Structure 1
Amino acid sequence: MVQQKQQTPGRPRSEASHQAILQATIDVLKQQGYRATTIEAIAAEAGVGKKTIYRWWSSKAEVALEALTTHSNTHVPFLDTGSLQSDLLSYFERSFESLRGESGMLLRGIVAEALLDPAFAATFQRVFIVPRRASLVELLQRAQARGELTAETNIEVLADMIFGAKWYRFLLYPAPLDTTFAQEIVALVSRHRA
């Protein structure tokens, strides 16, 4: 969850309003894109005042980040199927599908914001990137414990290579995020099998 501003004395935060704002943020971002989205539009969609949003988040970037993080946690989980190959293929299938759709458009806007704002970049890394990388490392460690990766495999570097390939294609290189690419990554990872 994004670190939010310290609440001032007064009414406690309503969980219903919180969820309405997160859903409204996703809806408005999908309709308008990140750049055109405003706090005013989010507030109108959620049926709350702008002050409510600013009481809990300091910027459009922070509310968008929490909304996207919550959405991604639900739609792109790291499953434990008991097999490295199945775990990775499942992850890539869900992740690539999400990135090819509206979530990818939203994430590009947030990444652009992070490139322009160093303070927000640190929040983005802490809230979005680091937990996902940690989940991938955990997935690889489980595979190593099952004997699916050699004991000598540097899990940290392997995680960076897997994420690097995904992020490179997502943000910079005009090649598809598809099943073929996922299978090629899994085949490369499988070369480290015990």
Structure 2
Amino acid sequence: MDAAADRVRTRSGGRSEQVRRAVGEATLAFLAEGQFNFTMVDVAARAGVGRRTVYRWWPSRDDLLVEALSTHVRKAPTVIDTGSWERDLRTLAHKLAEFASDPIEIAISSIMAGGQNQVFNALVITQWEPSMNTWREFVRRAIDRGEVRAECSPSTIVNSLLAPMFLAPLTLRRSMGEADVDALVDLLLSGTGPAAGGNREGVPLVGPSRN
């Protein structure tokens, strides 16, 4: 799997890049339509690419899924770190809410929630890891600046931000509205800021590690 991904990454620019983009988008289109049992021939036809090319560059369905998920995740919001934890967190949160409401993302989340294909779930998690690392590092910088308490866990904060946004389209059949996003951000700010305390037992409200 990794070798196949590496092989795809080495082809960039010109016709090769066009083929890669077409195949990734075609595969994502099937996922967005709820069609998970597509074949490599189906993808080739939809992408307008020769079957031999698809089989040569992406020898298995998993390779196609890696390409598709990589194409999708590259569109995920990035952090614009201006040095203001509150402003930057709020900006990122609204962008993430919009991304989570994309039909492709909803379809991917639905497939994962169904738990019927653990290989697919693992591929999604792997493709998201670079973005997750970026967002966790964003929290660490806020901790280093003293805007977030040192005992707070970047992973817990990021997960607390993401979970409602990606679950809302699945459970409520709608994306989080702007007011909902702002309320979530306010909750995270109040629970992680320097002045925030623990619960009645003195236990921090956020995870104890910085991982």
- TM-score when normalising by structure 2: 0.70
Partner amino acid, structure 1, of 2:54: I
Instruction: Identify the residue that residue 124 of structure 1 maps to in structure 2.
Output: 124
Equivalences, count? 186
SS in 2 for 1:48: coil
Instruction: Identify the residue that residue 15 of structure 1 maps to in structure 2.
Output: 17
Deviations 1:24-68 (A, max 9, x none): 3344555x4433754333212322233432332521x65245324
Moved more, 142-151 or 86-95: 86-95
Structure 2 residue 169 is matched with structure 1 residue 156: no
SS in 2 for 1:82: coil
1:1-194 matches, within 5 Å, as 3=2, 5=4, 14-30=16-32, 32-35=33-36, 37-55=38-56, 56-59=58-61, 62-111=63-112, 115-128=115-128, 130-174=129-173, 176-191=175-190, 192-194=192-194
The 8 Å contact of residues 35 and 109 in structure 1, kept in 2 or not, is answered as no
Q: Could you say if the C-alpha distance between residues 3 and 53 of structure 1 is closer, same or farther in structure 2, counting changes exceeding 3 Å?
A: farther
The 8 Å contact of residues 34 and 110 in structure 1, kept in 2 or not, is answered as no
Partner amino acid, structure 2, of 1:137: R
Equivalent-residue separation in structure 2 for 1:35 and 1:86 (angstroms): 39
Unaligned runs of at least 5 residues, structure 1: none
Larger Rg: 2
- TM-score when normalising by structure 1: 0.75
Residue 120 of structure 1: how far off its partner (Å): 3.0
Equivalent-residue separation in structure 2 for 1:109 and 1:54 (angstroms): 28
Q: CA RMSD in A?
A: 3.1
Equivalent-residue separation in structure 2 for 1:69 and 1:110 (angstroms): 17
Equivalent-residue separation in structure 1 for 2:19 and 2:173 (angstroms): 39
Unaligned runs of at least 5 residues, structure 2: 195-211
Equivalent-residue separation in structure 1 for 2:144 and 2:110 (angstroms): 38
Instruction: Identify the residue that residue 205 of structure 2 maps to in structure 1.
Output: none
The 8 Å contact of residues 100 and 166 in structure 2, kept in 1 or not, is answered as no
